[in-house]
Chains A and B, each alone.
Chain A
């Protein structure tokens, strides 16, 4: 039980997928302009991470490993991830069209988001159990959402800030992202 808690917290804070492993940066920078869309994107990614982990894990262990087909795990995982992204897209389009519009192209981009595929593959590489994998996916998703929400706050301040002309826009955003990342370095070595 204790180990599950450690996995969860370490995925959220210490090994934050965006700020410590720099995975899934494109959605992180693309959707963090507004708090609403940041929260929506966080939930969508968390959902896709948990569902795809819950399905890819048994597929890998019960089908691919006994058949000796481990080398096919990348394409199998991508297929499953794409399936869930498509489901999220369909549901969002019907239920929350405003969020669907706000996320724009970044929603289908979750398919090739390296954070999502990274969770699925790292679970296998770390030889986690099923429950541990799902908890790790939950932590990764929450960590992604946390990074997105924090950064959307930073960016809204950034927009009002009086910064030198040449830094306005993308350069200032990237510098701010690096500073947020520095703050997460403070968690390093917390649960090891």
Chain B
């Protein structure tokens, strides 16, 4: 009885106590003092781990702020509220970061574009794009399989009528979708910029017109209407210089194909939802 049951227990308890004592001694002798601020900063971050700050995760960024003196306003999902919290912990003043938002530069939903074939392969933009640049006639447009929606950490992208649409009230501006899109249609810019050229085709106007009813045909009407010299047609595609653009919306009103859009501000989006 003793030999079979109790003895092994005593022996293992002995080994356990021996190990515990040794480990306690070692952990006391080799104690590493971690900075309490790292933990505090980490708690202030939103824990999305999106990587838009340039570090591999929120905790990595937190230790970079404390140890390397990294700027406190790099967190896009957290925005200005987050950087204010961190600057309070770190005792520095930081400029408020302007909230960022992603925009899909394509207008070509299933009503505007036509298909050259029906894609039956793996249902992803990447796969469809490999096969003759996707099933749609326009080779520059949104493929509509939702690779961007799949990577979005906040479910801010919805695919409707085979076109990715971004819910600005949910978008945290992390920019993961910009990397997921095989046609590089998604850009991230300040939320205060309200004018977007929602087309990425650099084909000449005739070709654009033949494949999509709402693409930029490079007519240069917007150039003439702009009072601030902020919009120019380069390579058959209107491009906006956001340093000059005042979001007046005259180009959007004048655009014959409605490729230029004036978007709602985030406040309007939130109001509409309510």
A67 at the interface (CB under 8 A from B): yes
Using Cβ atoms and an 8 Å threshold, which residues of chain B touch A64? Answer: 11
Q: Is the CB of A76 within 8 A of B3?
A: no
Using Cβ atoms and an 8 Å threshold, which residues of chain A touch B98? Answer: none
A86 and B3 alpha carbons, distance in the complex (Å)? 31
Q: Is the CB of B22 within 8 A of A94?
A: no
Q: If the complex has contacts A93-B32, A94-B30, A94-B32, are A69 and B8 also in contact, measured as CB distance less than 8 A?
A: yes
State which residues 21-46 of B face A: CB under 8 Å. Answer: 22-23, 26-27, 30-32
Chain A nearest CB: distance from B130 CB in Å? 14
Q: Is the CB of B11 within 8 A of A91?
A: no
A103 at the interface (CB under 8 A from B): no
Q: If the complex has contacts A83-B23, A87-B22, A91-B30, are A76 and B15 also in contact, measured as CB distance less than 8 A?
A: yes
Q: Is the CB of A91 within 8 A of B19?
A: no
Chain A nearest CB: distance from B171 CB in Å? 33
From A67, A94, A95, B11 is in contact (CB under 8 Å) with A67
B7 at the interface (CB under 8 A from A): yes
Q: If the complex has contacts A67-B3, A69-B8, are A80 and B15 also in contact, measured as CB distance less than 8 A?
A: yes
Q: If the complex has contacts A67-B7, A72-B8, are A83 and B19 also in contact, measured as CB distance less than 8 A?
A: yes
Using Cβ atoms and an 8 Å threshold, which residues of chain A touch B19? Answer: 79-80, 82-83
Q: Is the CB of B30 within 8 A of A93?
A: yes
B contacts with A, residue count (CB < 8 A)? 15
From B12, B16, B23, A90 is in contact (CB under 8 Å) with B23
Q: Is the CB of B15 within 8 A of A90?
A: no
State which residues 92-118 of A face B: CB under 8 Å. Answer: 93-95, 97
A87 and B30 alpha carbons, distance in the complex (Å)? 10
Using Cβ atoms and an 8 Å threshold, which residues of chain A touch B22? Answer: 83, 87
Using Cβ atoms and an 8 Å threshold, which residues of chain A touch B11? Answer: 63-64, 67, 69, 72, 76
Interface string of A56-94 (1 = CB under 8 A from B): 000100011001110010011001101100110011011
A97 and B34 alpha carbons, distance in the complex (Å)? 12
Chain A nearest CB: distance from B232 CB in Å? 39
Closest chain B residue to A91 by CB distance? Answer: B30
Q: Is the CB of A68 within 8 A of B32?
A: no
A95 and B27 alpha carbons, distance in the complex (Å)? 12
Using Cβ atoms and an 8 Å threshold, which residues of chain A touch B31? Answer: 94
A contacts with B, residue count (CB < 8 A)? 21
Chain B nearest CB: distance from A113 CB in Å? 18
Chain A nearest CB: distance from B68 CB in Å? 14
Using Cβ atoms and an 8 Å threshold, which residues of chain B touch A87? Answer: 22-23, 26
Q: If the complex has contacts A69-B7, A72-B8, A83-B22, are A95 and B15 also in contact, measured as CB distance less than 8 A?
A: no
Q: Is the CB of A91 within 8 A of B26?
A: yes
Closest chain B residue to A76 by CB distance? Answer: B15
A63 and B3 alpha carbons, distance in the complex (Å)? 13
Chain B nearest CB: distance from A145 CB in Å? 23
Q: If the complex has contacts A90-B27, A93-B32, A94-B32, are A68 and B15 also in contact, measured as CB distance less than 8 A?
A: no
Using Cβ atoms and an 8 Å threshold, which residues of chain A touch B32? Answer: 93-94, 97
Using Cβ atoms and an 8 Å threshold, which residues of chain A touch B7? Answer: 67, 69
A97 and B3 alpha carbons, distance in the complex (Å)? 46
Chain B nearest CB: distance from A72 CB in Å? 6
Q: If the complex has contacts A67-B3, A91-B30, are A79 and B12 also in contact, measured as CB distance less than 8 A?
A: yes
A80 and B16 alpha carbons, distance in the complex (Å)? 9
Chain B nearest CB: distance from A87 CB in Å? 5
Closest chain B residue to A72 by CB distance? Answer: B8
Using Cβ atoms and an 8 Å threshold, which residues of chain A touch B8? Answer: 67, 69, 72
Chain B nearest CB: distance from A1 CB in Å? 33
Q: If the complex has contacts A67-B7, A83-B22, are A95 and B30 also in contact, measured as CB distance less than 8 A?
A: yes
Binding site for B on A (CB under 8 A): 59, 63-64, 67-69, 72, 75-76, 79-80, 82-83, 86-87, 90-91, 93-95, 97
Q: Report, nearest first, the 4 A-B pairs whose CB atoms are least far apart.
A: A94-B30, A83-B19, A90-B26, A90-B30
Q: Could you list 6 examples of A-B contacts with CB < 8 Å?
A: A68-B3, A83-B19, A83-B22, A86-B23, A87-B22, A97-B32
**With contacts A67-B3, A87-B23, A97-B32 known, what are 17 further pairs, Cβ within 8 A?**
A59-B15, A63-B11, A64-B11, A67-B7, A68-B3, A69-B7, A69-B11, A72-B8, A72-B12, A75-B12, A76-B11, A80-B19, A83-B22, A86-B23, A90-B26, A91-B30, A94-B31
